[in-house]
Structure 1
Amino acid sequence: MKILQLISISYLAYVSYAAATPQIDEHINVEVEKLPEGLTWEQWHMEHEHQLKKFTPDLFFSLHDTKNRGFLDRDDILSLYGLNRNEVVGKGDGMGQHDESELVDKEIAEKAVKLIMDIMEVDEDGKIMKQEYLDFVKRGGSFPDLGVGVGHHAGFESEYEIHHWNKYHQESDPDVKVVHREDVEHELLHHEHEIEHEEDVQRDVSRATVITDDELESRIAPKKIPMKYRNGL
């Protein structure tokens, strides 16, 4: 009972923090995916990301122990919730519309890690041992919905392959003779994202080639200027 109360309190605190934090940076990703009614976050994640409707706590842990060390650490938690990336493109699963709200909020990511460590009541070593997680589950606990989506593990190209290509094209239609709406949507997303990054690179190059008067003056070596051209230097 204690752990369930702790989850409720911690989650409410997290939600309150998120609601009270102003959206200062317009480029920060705003998550729109919502937990389906009737599912726990773990069930939603496993069904959507791993195509598994039935699973054991042991399997859930093993799939997310990314380095097979017998424990989950900060990086594993960030990966589990899809917060280990610098940006979210579209909906994060290879679909969706392209916009500029793509950066992952690093402050929210760190708070998510702290929250999970708190509700698991782990030692100060920052590791969730497998047995600690299994005991947590026996007490009625599960990884909670933090309002950051379903937990896409990979970039949007890999997510497209996981959620669409592998299902409809890999074996039966590798040449994509049958084009689905999802294929068109992904291609548009891919090209719009590519164009945006090309524009960013071009802007950076343009800025790098602009030299101010002060910068130009600092590059002048008076000693190398012939006397007849110095004019009082």
Structure 2
Amino acid sequence: MVGRLICFVAGVLAISGGLANAHGSHSSNQPPSEDWATRHMMEEHHIESFDAGSFFMLHDYDSSGSWTVDEVRKTYGLDDESNSGVSEPSKQAAVRTVFDLFDPGNTGFITREAWLKADADGLRLPDLGFGPGHHGDMEYEYEIHHFEKFHGDDAKEEDLTHPEDIEHFRRHDEEEAAEMRLERLETMQLVESNIPAKFRRNF
């Protein structure tokens, strides 16, 4: 499933080269990278070769032609649970660092043109110490960081016994249980006598 998505993205963006054999860790306890974008692409997308334009397009989540503050936060994984212990001021300072580099006119956006010019001038995304930029959903992060590395397409249910597998399916069960509770609540009849008097309409 994820493999097909990666191949599709690679084809659409005309990214040359193959998928990396090395898989990234969810740990952010790695030494800072001088080329954070390359680390991000290898660990989060399993893509080795790319150009500045394709990197920009892949992380322009709304296809607007520019990066917003929220898109930079997402790319760096600042709102991912792996960075839940980082203070909001630290996250905002990190975003400002990126915008200071790639938005010299202080417009509040990083345009594709500004990005390409900065890249041609040798400017690179800094490693801000927040890890490789986990920005996929729960399923994507599990598959790209664990399932592909330890199991593969021919894995059977009985093979999925690693702590990461157990935690992943525990979270799935929690989500399904929450959805079922919500569905039950939505189908319940409203009993007027159960509503506190102060919230009832007086006709």
The reply to whether TM is greater than 0.5 is: yes
Aligned to 1:178: 159
C-alpha distance in 2 between matches for 1:104 and 1:191: 26
- The answer to whether the 8 A contact 1:35-1:149 is kept is no
- The answer to whether the 8 A contact 1:169-1:176 is kept is no
Equivalent runs, 1:24-43 vs 2, <5 Å = 32-35=28-31, 40-43=35-38
C-alpha distance in 2 between matches for 1:133 and 1:103: 30
* CA-CA distance at 1:119 after TM superposition: 1.2
C-alpha distance in 2 between matches for 1:166 and 1:56: 25
- The answer to whether the 8 A contact 1:46-1:52 is kept is yes
Aligned counterpart in structure 1 of residue 52 of structure 2, from 37, 48, 57: 57
**Larger of the two Rg values belongs to structure:** 1
Equivalent runs, 1:1-233 vs 2, <5 Å = 32-35=28-31, 40-85=35-80, 87-88=81-82, 102-166=84-148, 171-173=153-155, 175-179=156-160, 184-190=162-168
Aligned residues: 149
- Give a deviation string over 1:4-33, Cα, whole Å, max 9, x none: xxxxxxxxxxxxxxxxxxxxxxxxxxx743
Q: Which runs of 5+ in 1 are unaligned?
A: 1-30, 93-101, 195-233
Higher relative contact order (CA 8 A, sep 6+): 1
Identity of aligned residues (%): 30
* CA-CA distance at 1:115 after TM superposition: 0.9
What's the secondary structure of 2:114's corresponding residue? helix
Normalised by the length of structure 1, the TM-score is 0.55
Q: CA RMSD in A?
A: 3.1
* CA-CA distance at 1:121 after TM superposition: 3.6
C-alpha distance in 2 between matches for 1:193 and 1:104: 23
* CA-CA distance at 1:106 after TM superposition: 1.5
Q: 1:156 and 1:105, CA in 2 relative to 1: closer, same or farther beyond 3 A?
A: farther
What's the secondary structure of 1:62's corresponding residue? helix
* CA-CA distance at 1:40 after TM superposition: 1.4
- The answer to whether the 8 A contact 1:33-1:150 is kept is no
The ranges of structure 1 where at least 4 consecutive aligned residues each deviate by more than 2 angstroms after the TM superposition are 102-105, 121-125, 154-158, 162-173, 175-179, 187-194
Normalised by the length of structure 2, the TM-score is 0.62
- The answer to whether the 8 A contact 1:81-1:151 is kept is yes
* CA-CA distance at 1:42 after TM superposition: 1.0
Q: Which runs of 5+ in 2 are unaligned?
A: 1-26, 173-203
